Structure 1
Amino acid sequence: MHEILDIWDENGCPTGNSAPKDYLHQKGLFHPTVHIWFYKRTPAILLQKRGPNKQTFPNLWDVSVAGHVAVGETVLEAALREIKEEIGLVVRSAALELLRVQKNINKFPNGITDCEFQHVYLCELPVDVTVLKLQSEELEAVRLFSFEEINQCQLGKHKDFKIVPADMQYYSFIIQCVKDKIML
């Protein structure tokens, strides 16, 4: 099944056109996505290990939940759908806090040029990690990481975990948002 996505322009405005995800990635066309970061007050942030068959960043640890916004779907609807699909959790829309929308471009050796407007959300994880039901086609595992572990992964200094490479400021921003939420 081919995901059909809305095409956005380089300013983050819908063009009124849509196309299959593979075509957007082949042509480097912008499209909306969602990133949902779950946290616990321990404090810790939930990361997912991407599946080995993913076209981009296979077997690396990444944002708690992420995905594309399907054609005709709102960003919030996509966030709620992706959460349910990837980790089997149903959350109320009011539990999601939109932190920002960021423009991101990644070019990969396999020819994919992924041009996204990422809608970044934060949500407190209301359950224990052990009750999450993982979508095996998308992810291999989930785990709570301390702030220090995430920093070590980002710097490439964690011996056991490799994280999706991103601007260090992105991870720092998420950590600071969680700290602000739990008053650290």
Structure 2
Amino acid sequence: MYRPILMFVLMLPTFIIIDSVTVNGMQLLDNFGHVVFFCCFFMNYLRGCGIAVIARKIKDKMSNSMGDRHMSEELKIYDENQTEIGVADRDEVHKIGYWHQTFQCWFVDQNDDMDYIYLQKRSNDKKDFPNLLDITAAGHLLSTETVADGVREVEEELGIDVHFNELISLGVIEDPIETKSFLDREWAHVFLYRLKESDEFNLQQEEVSGIVKSTFQDFYDLCFDKKKEIRVNGFEMRELGERTIVNRNISLEDIVPHRKAYLQQVVKRIADYI
């Protein structure tokens, strides 16, 4: 936080020299000196702590606006038999525990005859489950949206343009998650997408801060408690936008706490298609 002050002190002599240059008794560079000084000072400020601070403030603003948007989202609500019973605000849906619809898409690919599955890392700015791994792309279906409209989540979160007809439906799976602060009861429309060589991740960092993958068999075994830890590799985004390599072990504690029944149904259905 003291770097801008230090830069000011270090550059002050330069400013004084430029400011005092005269030609024929006139300070011709007076105004120019002020401009040069403040431009240099501002650039050094940004190169120091400024960018990080500004980036954090921008992200906070965007997170707050995302939170405001979530507060205004209206979702269709259902009973336990999937019968529609009305519309409610997202916060009310999670507070009371109404059943509602979501879109979920799991990414897989194959390399050297080995199948892989992809997980996103939730942003540190997320209100719920920050920094945990989760479904590759997912989101709530608004009251005005169809299931097909949910494919927008893939491009919004991951920057990959996917058409609904490229997805493989895995059906509707119950996905309730309960914490001390909310009850999220989802009828999840689950889909599978095979990543193409031309696909490139361009993450929406307010939502997603990284992508990792594991072998599908390892992830399958993790979901069925055949393994306590598995190896993942991929990348994470840092505050200034650079990517860092990830290569580490994870357990179920590193993943959003979906019920095992949900995870096991998902991997069993994926296994039928790969």
Task: Assess same fold via TM > 0.5.
Answer: yes
**Residues 128/170 of structure 1: CA separation in 2 closer, same or farther (3 Å cut):** farther
Question: Is the counterpart of residue 81 in structure 1 residue 152 in structure 2?
Answer: yes
Contact 1:6 1:70 in 2 (8 A): yes
* Between structures 1 and 2, the one with greater strand share: 1
Counterpart for residue 160 of structure 1: 249
Cα deviation 1:10-52 (Å, max 9, x = unaligned): 211222x222211100111111001101100221011101112
Measured after TM superposition, the shift of residue 152 of structure 1 is 6.5
Contact 1:4 1:18 in 2 (8 A): yes
Q: Residue 166 of structure 2 is aligned with which of 84, 87, 95?
A: 95
* TM-score (norm. length: structure 2): 0.59
Question: Is the counterpart of residue 8 in structure 1 residue 8 in structure 2?
Answer: no
Distance 2:176 2:260 in 1: 15
Larger Cα-atom Rg: 2
Measured after TM superposition, the shift of residue 104 of structure 1 is 2.4
Counterpart for residue 177 of structure 2: 106
Distance 1:140 1:45 in 2: 17
Unmatched 5+ stretches in structure 1: none
Distance 1:108 1:180 in 2: 32
Counterpart for residue 63 of structure 1: 135
Distance 2:272 2:191 in 1: 14
SS of residue in 2 equivalent to 1:134: coil
Contact 1:39 1:178 in 2 (8 A): no
Of 33-42 and 152-161, more deviation after overlay is shown by: 152-161
Distance 2:179 2:133 in 1: 17
Measured after TM superposition, the shift of residue 170 of structure 1 is 3.8
* TM-score (norm. length: structure 1): 0.85
Cα deviation 1:61-118 (Å, max 9, x = unaligned): 111111100111001211x111111101111211111112112222112x21101101
Contact 1:96 1:121 in 2 (8 A): yes
- Kindly indicate whether structure 1 or structure 2 has the higher relative contact order, using CA contacts under 8 Å at least 6 residues apart: 1
Distance 1:52 1:25 in 2: 21
Contact 1:51 1:140 in 2 (8 A): yes
**Residues 9/177 of structure 1: CA separation in 2 closer, same or farther (3 Å cut):** closer
Q: How many residues align?
A: 178
SS of residue in 1 equivalent to 2:155: helix
Contact 1:56 1:108 in 2 (8 A): no
Counterpart for residue 36 of structure 1: 105
Question: Is the counterpart of residue 23 in structure 1 residue 112 in structure 2?
Answer: no
Q: Residue 49 of structure 1 is aligned with which of 113, 116, 121?
A: 121
Query: How much is the aligned-residue C-alpha RMSD, in angstroms?
Result: 2.1
**Residues 167/86 of structure 1: CA separation in 2 closer, same or farther (3 Å cut):** same
